[in-house]
Amino acid sequence: MYQPRVGDTLAALDTPALLVDLDLMERNIATMQERLRESNARIRPHLKTAKCPEIARLLVATGAIGGCVSKVSEAEVMAQAGIEDLLITSEIVGVPKLDRLSQLVQKHRQVKVVVDSLEGAAALNQAMERVQQPLDILIEVDVGQHRCGVQPGEAALQLARQLATFSFLRLRGVQGYEGHLQHIANASERERLCRQSMGLLTATVADLRAAGFPCEIVTTGGTGTAEICASYPAVTEVQPGSFIFMDTDYQHALGPVYASALTVLATVISRPAAQRAIVDAGLKSLSTDSGMAQPKGLPGVRYSHFGDEHGLLEWSDGETAGATARTMQIGERLELVPSHCDTTINLHDTYYAHRHGRIEAIWLIAARGKVQ
Amino acid sequence: MYQPRVGDTLAALDTPALLVDLDLMERNIATMQERLRESNARIRPHLKTAKCPEIARLLVATGAIGGCVSKVSEAEVMAQAGIEDLLITSEIVGVPKLDRLSQLVQKHRQVKVVVDSLEGAAALNQAMERVQQPLDILIEVDVGQHRCGVQPGEAALQLARQLATFSFLRLRGVQGYEGHLQHIANASERERLCRQSMGLLTATVADLRAAGFPCEIVTTGGTGTAEICASYPAVTEVQPGSFIFMDTDYQHALGPVYASALTVLATVISRPAAQRAIVDAGLKSLSTDSGMAQPKGLPGVRYSHFGDEHGLLEWSDGETAGATARTMQIGERLELVPSHCDTTINLHDTYYAHRHGRIEAIWLIAARGKVQ
């Protein structure tokens, strides 16, 4: 039975298969670095996108300060992979997770967490007290996304005062994530709203500092706002994740700044009608939360999911249609660009990283499915 | 660190966690059997839903003829688990998959596949010739879904004649799947359209038999149409999958015939506002291709995803809202009923099967992610 190996061509792979174009991924990493070159902010890439130790190490090797992860189980994978400076960006609640965190922090002391409530802080302190190990804490501030986070200003200040009463929690700074702005297609509107969010965040930082609370870490931003956030001297780091791969949803908003480095290789398995082809990639290979994937290099061809394991390709009449119909025979392969990279990657176990059509690396998506 | 064990209460689990209520699942299986009791059709459950050897074995133990799977890699898992009579319901295309299939069939001779083209059949025959092993084939007929499948009648007959020229392919019957009808909420309309589809399928069976082609296997139907399909004497088996668990999408169409046996256990991690709670289950724990999950036992509370790892609970003003707000403290747990069981299960690695709140079994979702 065929087992993919480094050096094989993509043509040898079974499908569906998740592909990473290494030239494009490396160019995307260089582009982000270049765009942040004038700022003081470091990159702490959000590793929830790639979910892969090899990619995390590559990011650190090219200048990242460490990484963000969403969950304790993701942090375990990345700490094990040698990424020391990790920030868990979601509030940690519940005995099993707190126990897991306290185990992790004993070995990996640079793991940091966020908190947005007194109850949350008390539970963290209790867990850390049990293992007699201090924990670095950031206050999560709601800068307009209205997800987690305390309100900026007085509420943040109040939580900082409460945190000071917990012996095992060390307040290191704040997190504010303007996730609601990342995909705004109008660049000046995105910037205007981001500056509002940064206004709230930096004013809160000023309040905290004035009250004697340290804010060595001010972390914020995503792929759509990283440059704007990084232009504030108070911001010490930004958290983009998708920039390394991109997806059609981000590309719709940001234009061609970053290239589509991630695709799903699929095979035509049925040609039941002149203007319809069925491929072997459906809901289980391509996420649809941000719309449908797009066929790469096939203008005029539309993809939509057609059940768990099937996808539909359709095209309109005309010359292109004729040409497409002729090439879209059973067995033909094509690449589909995901609409949302994070959730598509979460459906796969392996990256096939290639350069010029030849596999250069096979990487396990070791943090796939780490939802706890 | 906590490791879940049989006998533990659900309260001990970390979240998000995928739960199966065994009383309800067993009742659903019994309900389907009862509803098909008067027919000749056997149940060949579609194992792409559960993706789990233990559940597949339970289905066979309670009368299933074997199982359906979508892909060769799923068939490998189920054959390994002892499910001998397997039908792969998607066309198999490409050298790696054909090689894999021919390896599988040498050990598991009751694995059957579908075909809808001469090219597909020729490639299958070539692969089987290499291993000198015959293969059971069903012709897939398009009964109105317009996905894969040859047209009913003459086109099917023509493919049957072509198949007869291939020494290693044994035509055993036909598959016709009316997937487009499964979720029609108007029961009489669903039945009317299903009878149209069954008319196409059974007429094709009659044509094939009249031309001397055997049709020992006539396989069709899903959870929404199984009883209607099974009422046709020509239909030998039906392929429902979702009935064992259900989901809100199916329940919207079918009403309370089957119970919601599958939920995702989640935890409230933030209470940033009076009418809003944030839970730890987002796009990576609950699929959204068929809408949003529903909180179980919390009337008036709406769930929506809020990113990969967050979900939003909202409720309206009023008495219920007041009561909900009081109970929805940080750390509170709730169950969410998935909108689409197949794709939600595909996000998880483990089922926690429970009875009356106590874990009775922990099952690996061994066929999760088997898209090839």
CA B309 – CA B288 distance, rounded (Å)? 13
CA A220 – CA B216 distance, rounded (Å)? 63
pLDDT score of A319 more than 70: no
Q: Are strands A301-305 and B42-43 parallel, antiparallel or unpaired?
A: unpaired
Q: Do A330 and B119 touch (CB under 8 A)?
A: yes
Give B300's pLDDT tier (boundaries 50, 70, 90): confident
Q: Do B272 and A148 touch (CB under 8 A)?
A: yes
**Residue A101 is which amino acid?**
L
Give the gyration radius of chain B's Cα atoms. Answer: 22
pLDDT score of A320 more than 80: no
pLDDT score of A204 more than 90: yes
Q: Is B190 on the interface with A (CB under 8 A)?
A: no
Q: Which residues of B touch A308 (CB under 8 A)?
A: 48, 70, 342-343, 346
* Residue B344 near residue B263, CB atoms below 8 Å: no
Structure-block tokens of residue A170? 């060390």
What pLDDT is stored for residue B326 in this prediction?
73
Most A CBs within 10 A among B308, B328, B359, hence the mutation to make, goes to B308
CA distances from A357 to A156, A350, B23 (A): 51, 17, 51
Q: Do A271 and B117 touch (CB under 8 A)?
A: yes
User: Could you give the 3-state DSSP secondary structure of residue A122?
Assistant: helix
Q: Please give the residue of chain A at the shortest CA–CA distance from B288.
A: A289
Give the residues across from A334 on adjacent strands.
Answer: A266
Q: How far is B269 from chain A (nearest CA, A)?
A: 6
Least confident interval from B234-243, B320-329, B337-346? B320-329
CA B280 – CA B269 distance, rounded (Å)? 6
User: Could you give the 3-state DSSP secondary structure of residue A220?
Assistant: strand
Structure-block tokens of residue B148? 């894969």
CB-closest option in A149, A349, A372 to B272? A149
pLDDT score of A323 more than 80: no
Q: Is A196 on the interface with B (CB under 8 A)?
A: no
CA distances from B1 to A103, A172, A271, B12 (A): 7, 27, 52, 12
Q: Is A288 on the interface with B (CB under 8 A)?
A: yes
Q: Is A3 on the interface with B (CB under 8 A)?
A: no
Q: Is B274 on the interface with A (CB under 8 A)?
A: no
pLDDT score of A53 more than 70: yes
Host H or E run for residue A301: strand A301-305
Report the interhelical angle of A118-131 vs A154-163 (nearest 10°): 20
CA distances from B98 to A1, A95, B123, B139 (A): 10, 48, 8, 17
Q: Which residues of A touch B280 (CB under 8 A)?
A: 71, 90, 93, 371
Q: Which residues of A touch B146 (CB under 8 A)?
A: 272-273, 276
Report the interhelical angle of B118-131 vs B154-163 (nearest 10°): 20
User: Could you give the 3-state DSSP secondary structure of residue A169?
Assistant: strand
Mean pLDDT of B1-28: 96
Q: Which residues of B touch A283 (CB under 8 A)?
A: 287, 289, 342-343
What pLDDT is stored for residue A326 in this prediction?
73
Q: How far is A38 from chain B (nearest CA, A)?
A: 31
CA B166 – CA A65 distance, rounded (Å)? 62
More confident residue, B86 or B272: B86
Give the residues across from B46 on adjacent strands.
Answer: B68
Q: Which residues of B touch A349 (CB under 8 A)?
A: 369
Q: Do B310 and A147 touch (CB under 8 A)?
A: yes
User: Could you give the 3-state DSSP secondary structure of residue A341?
Assistant: helix
Host H or E run for residue A266: strand A262-273
pLDDT tens-digit readout, A12-49: 999 999 999 999 999 999 999 999 999 999 999 999 99
What pLDDT is stored for residue B346 in this prediction?
98
- How many helices (DSSP H) and strands (DSSP E) are in chain A? 11, 17
Which range is most confident: A85-94, A267-276, B267-276? A85-94
CA A308 – CA A20 distance, rounded (Å)? 23
CA A198 – CA A138 distance, rounded (Å)? 16
CB-closest option in B117, B123, B349 to A270? B117
Mean pLDDT of B328-345: 97
CA B282 – CA A89 distance, rounded (Å)? 14
Most A CBs within 10 A among B270, B329, B333, hence the mutation to make, goes to B270
Give the residues across from B9 on adjacent strands.
Answer: B358
What pLDDT is stored for residue B1 in this prediction?
79
Give the residue among B131, B66, B65 at the shortest CA–CA distance from B98: B131
What pLDDT is stored for residue B42 in this prediction?
97
Residues 6+ apart with CB under 8 A from A247: A260, A262, A290, A337, A338, A339, A340, A341, A344
pLDDT tens-digit readout, B9-22: 999 999 999 999 99
ipTM: 0.97
CA distances from B111 to B80, B130, B191 (A): 12, 17, 31
Residues 6+ apart with CB under 8 A from B361: B6, B22, B54, B351, B353
Mean pLDDT of A1-22: 96
More confident residue, A276 or A200: A200
Q: Supply the mean pLDDT for chain A.
A: 96
Structure-block tokens of residue A217? 């870490």
pLDDT tens-digit readout, A208-254: 999 999 899 999 999 999 999 999 999 999 999 999 999 999 999 99
For chain A, positions 231-270, list CB contacts with chain B under 8 A.
Answer: 267-270
Q: Is A355 on the interface with B (CB under 8 A)?
A: no
Q: How far is A265 from chain B (nearest CA, A)?
A: 11
Mean pLDDT of A1-14: 95
pLDDT score of B241 more than 70: yes
Altogether, the residues listed in chain B come to a count of 372
* Residue A91 near residue A116, CB atoms below 8 Å: yes
Give the gyration radius of chain A's Cα atoms. Answer: 22
Most A CBs within 10 A among B284, B332, B344, hence the mutation to make, goes to B284
Mean pLDDT of B58-82: 98
* Residue A208 near residue A156, CB atoms below 8 Å: yes
**Residue A112 is which amino acid?**
K
For chain B, positions 44-103, list CB contacts with chain A under 8 A.
Answer: 48, 70-71, 90-97, 99-100, 103
Residues 6+ apart with CB under 8 A from B38: none
What pLDDT is stored for residue B325 in this prediction?
72
Q: Which residues of B touch A13 (CB under 8 A)?
A: 96
What pLDDT is stored for residue B319 in this prediction?
64
Q: How far is B38 from chain A (nearest CA, A)?
A: 31
Mean pLDDT of B133-138: 98
pLDDT score of B128 more than 80: yes
Mean pLDDT of B46-73: 98
Q: Do B142 and A272 touch (CB under 8 A)?
A: yes
Q: Are strands B276-279 and B311-315 parallel, antiparallel or unpaired?
A: antiparallel
